[in-house]
Amino acid sequence: GNSVTQMEGPVTLSEEAFLTINCTYTATGYPSLFWYVQYPGEGLQLLLKATKADDKGSNKGFEATYRKETTSFHLEKGSVQVSDSAVYFCALTLGRSYGGSQGNLIFGKGTKLSVKP
């Protein structure tokens, strides 16, 4: 079936460290890929997205590249800040022609990031 697998957390880093959160997916056809972020006590916010192979999504210093050959969409940031502490979710959605619907975002389990000053 269609699924998203993320590296298990928690991930603890010092401020200004390099961040990588791994995400791989299994999907029929050509999914769109997303990273969402959830700050403590809040809902999810879209961080970035990519809709086709080799696309790079970027926002707030974060970036992720849609790699079809490795079915991956790893999240990276060159220098994390304390304010980046949150839970990060990788997600995908399928196009309608591959049995997807306009509502079905399939999420990974989330990776908690803690950044220490």
Q: Which of 21, 27, 89, 111 binds another protein (CB under 8 A)?
A: 89
Looking at the chain, list the stretches that DSSP marks H as alpha helix, in order from N- to C-terminal side: none
**75 contacts 86 by C-beta, under 8 angstroms:** no
Q: Which of 28, 79, 83, 104 binds another protein (CB under 8 A)?
A: 104
Q: How many residues bind another protein (CB under 8 A)?
A: 22
- Least gap, CB of 14 to another protein (angstroms): 27
Asked whether position 110 contacts another protein by CB under 8 A, the answer is yes
Rg (CA), the chain: 14
